[in-house]
Structure 1
Amino acid sequence: MSSRTDIDVRPVTEDELPDWERAVNTGFLRSPAVGEEYLAARRHRFVPGRVQGAFDGGRCVATFRSFAQELTAVGGAFVPAAAISHVTVTPTHRRRGLLTRMMARELTAARERGDVVATLIAAEYPIYGRYGFGPATTTAEWTVDVPRAGLDPRRAAPADGGRIDLVDGADVRRLGPALHERLRRDRAGAVGRDALWWRTHTGELRFEASWTEPFHAVYRSADGEVEGMVAYRADDTWGDAKQPLNTVSVDRLIGVTPAAERALWHFLCSIDWAVTVRSGPRAPDDLLPHFLPDPRAARITTQADWLWVRVLDVVRALEARTYGGRGRLVLEVVDAAGPAGGRWRLEASAEGASCRATAEGADLVLGAGELSRLWLGDESAVRLAALGLVREERAGAARLADALLRTSRRPWCPDMF
């Protein structure tokens, strides 16, 4: 058995991608085989220096990738983020510190690049807290019982003068980027989508030979402006009495107005043969149930943490966002990995905020992961204090933190990466 020091953790060259991709598939319990079409598509995502591997005797046994991302802070500012993905360790090489070594390299490089935060979506909850990450958004999925919803299929057309049009992938690539830009400027937790994202999610660039094209529809307002878009699929299920019992499953649905969202959900619930609609990942305070005559027809079938955030630059992170009121807090951040650690004085108001290192006494003591959980406005400092994860050094400091940091709409990240 190789020792920890025998295993070489380093950036991967493009020539090593086949071995690296094989290790990725092994770690995710997929067939290890790597086809040429798959590799050709993956090369579009290769950025030298941002793909790491751990090599034992020349074979890749752990993987790690990061890429540049923009994350929307509370208030609509975009902050540079290091998005982390493709994290695996081969079963034969677990518990040897390989992930810790790769993560340390990436967080150091991210801070040097000027990234304000790092982000990831965790397959397993217990892993990433020890690296200063915290769950910052929640996702929910609704299942809609269409007959119970009470919509009149004869009135499926939008009542506001808008219209729904079916479109194809080329239309989505043309219309989608501007629509998504409008969405992410108004939703904390959203992330940017580059041209490669639109190509891969519309089938122009395919990682898998088995990729199938979804249906695409757009909502246009009465003046013809595209304000919403949905990608969806349907199964082919029939009951014993030759009765269609199909399920419509949403891949993605975005709308920049409530009218657009309402129209798209009503459209999906009025499709002939559909008796069930699955919403796909949504914000936990999504309006979907209340667009239906009977909100009980929509029940949450999945709810879990989604986007995890790791604050790297406390000053820039706290100054980038907006605040719900006026107040002053001194935060003592405990960060074993270093970049967020220290004592920070936050002075916030509706007009903006300043954050500086200070030697003043702390009002709240918390870890880097807890600061990261609070930053996007979804978590409560009072809750974390009750759980023993935040400590008040001044009575009422947790309530003040909530008054400043929490948001009226919960943050939401529509994307998986």
Structure 2
Amino acid sequence: MGPDVRPIAESEFPNWLRALNTGFLRPPSVTEKEVAVRLPHIDPARTQGAFDGGRCVATFRSFAQELTVVGGATVPADAISNVTVSPTHRRRGLLSRMMAADLAAAKERGDVVATLIAAEYPIYGRYGFGSAACTTEWEIDVPRAGLDPRWSGPSAQDGGRIDLVSGADVRKLGPALHDRLRTRQHGTVSRDTRWWELTTGENRPDPDAWTEPFYAVYSNADGEPDGLIIYRADDHWGDAKQPLNRATVFDLIADTPAAERALWHFVCSIDWISTVRTGHRAPDDLLPHLLPDPRAARIVTQADWLWVRLLDVPRALEARTYAAPGALTLDIHDPTSLTTGRYHLNATPAGTTCTPTRTTADLALDARELATLYLGDESPTRLAALGRIEELTPGAVARAETMFRAARRAWCPDVF
């Protein structure tokens, strides 16, 4: 008999947390404060553990989420997090058992997709997940950027202003700003009240480790908040008594180009700051070209980020918009059989339909490749060249290229 895989009871949460910390190579000790703060925010029915001799040796948790797709609609998502297997129990199929149970429950609930942030690339493709949105992080050499050192705020023509605010202000203003971002940026995911509390230091499980960041809000000429930045700064000075401090941006939301420009110029104009790390941005972010010298922003991270797995192909494909009208019949192979089948997609100016069919397929692909295409961030032509899509009807790949691609890259600013 192998380890027992099942949802945890509330009394088992400390044991589960120890396994979670072990899997993430953190100190395995768990405090009563941590248990008391975290337990109310997890659903034991969606929190799985593998137990061997009374000890938790693997962890898995999911929660409700919304994902914005191409065109601005949202679909219900099964967000997967806290996935670990202790080093004593690797390669025994524990993750496969937990994943199968979670995805089956999510499909039964009516979730359209599942989402996760993959710590390692090779793991999740075998479960039908595909890399659907990438992340890029820049480091800005502030002195080289060419910004006017006399900059003290948005221009007179803009009429806006920037104010430093408190964490309590962010908890009030942030959710509405983020919801406005979600209506136009595919790849973003919903943030609940708990997200804003943790980001602003409210009721954290590790208060002693918390360092308060700086918060600044951009307001337009009418006094309405159009942007928000959250950042921290270190304290580093050179041998010649020159300030060499770095600002690290943890979140920047801008509802308008004016707000985006003003907030980046603001953080790059702070006295003593010589370097700015941007945090997770879209690969086609405007940032480098908001600087007089775009070469002052060098890429330090560029990698896959948000992974998606379709659970309901018709609902998923009908929810998003397409760059051009067209029709395709897709033959989907799913390693878990959750979405295996043939589907006819028909995108017209009047709307989109996707229905199961037995007609001849135009393209054959795995569920993970369909997930990779879903947010418009990957090219069907590239996947075909890599042998990951099979063209069964001449011209079908080119048709998919014109239909699926989006004008801007997908972006998920969050880790979960």
Structure 2 counterpart of 1:264: 263
Structure 1 counterpart of 2:374: 375
Shift of 1:349: 2.5
Kept after mapping to 2: 8 A contact 1:324/1:349: no
Moved more, 392-401 or 108-117: 392-401
What is the total number of aligned residue pairs between the two structures? 413
- Matches of 2:408 and 2:349 in 1, distance apart? 17
AA of the residue aligned to 2:166: D
Instruction: Decide which of 91, 95, 113 is 2:87's aligned counterpart.
Output: 91
The residue correspondences of 1:157-306 to structure 2 (distance < 5 A) are 157-159=153-155, 160-208=158-206, 209-306=208-305
- Matches of 1:45 and 1:93 in 2, distance apart? 27
Structure 1 counterpart of 2:310: 311
Structure 1 counterpart of 2:407: 408
Shift of 1:400: 0.8
Q: Deviations over 1:329-366 (max 9, x none)?
A: 00000002012110000000243210000111110000
Structure 1 counterpart of 2:39: 43
AA of the residue aligned to 1:98: L
Q: Secondary structure at the match of 1:108?
A: helix
Among the aligned pairs, what percent are the same residue?
66
Kept after mapping to 2: 8 A contact 1:12/1:52: yes
- Where do 4+ consecutive residues of structure 1 move more than 4 Å? none
Kept after mapping to 2: 8 A contact 1:323/1:350: no
Q: Secondary structure at the match of 1:120?
A: strand
- Matches of 1:167 and 1:416 in 2, distance apart? 24
- Matches of 1:306 and 1:41 in 2, distance apart? 28
Structure 2 counterpart of 1:123: 119
What is the RMSD of the two structures over their aligned residues, measured on CA atoms? 0.8
TM-score by length of 2: 0.98
AA of the residue aligned to 2:107: R
Kept after mapping to 2: 8 A contact 1:333/1:343: yes
- Matches of 2:348 and 2:322 in 1, distance apart? 6
- Matches of 2:349 and 2:272 in 1, distance apart? 50
- Matches of 1:35 and 1:378 in 2, distance apart? 42
- Matches of 1:205 and 1:345 in 2, distance apart? 49
Shift of 1:229: 0.3
- Matches of 1:365 and 1:156 in 2, distance apart? 56
- Matches of 2:151 and 2:198 in 1, distance apart? 35
Shift of 1:211: 1.1
AA of the residue aligned to 1:187: Q
AA of the residue aligned to 2:178: H
Q: Secondary structure at the match of 2:339?
A: coil
Q: Secondary structure at the match of 1:74?
A: coil
Structure 1 counterpart of 2:66: 70
Q: Deviations over 1:117-136 (max 9, x none)?
A: 00000000000000000000
Unaligned 5+ runs, structure 1: none
Unaligned 5+ runs, structure 2: none
Shift of 1:260: 0.6
Shift of 1:144: 0.4
Kept after mapping to 2: 8 A contact 1:141/1:280: yes
Shift of 1:228: 0.6
Q: Deviations over 1:117-159 (max 9, x none)?
A: 0000000000000000000000000000001101112123111
AA of the residue aligned to 2:187: G
AA of the residue aligned to 1:20: W
- Matches of 1:360 and 1:369 in 2, distance apart? 22
Q: Secondary structure at the match of 1:284?
A: coil
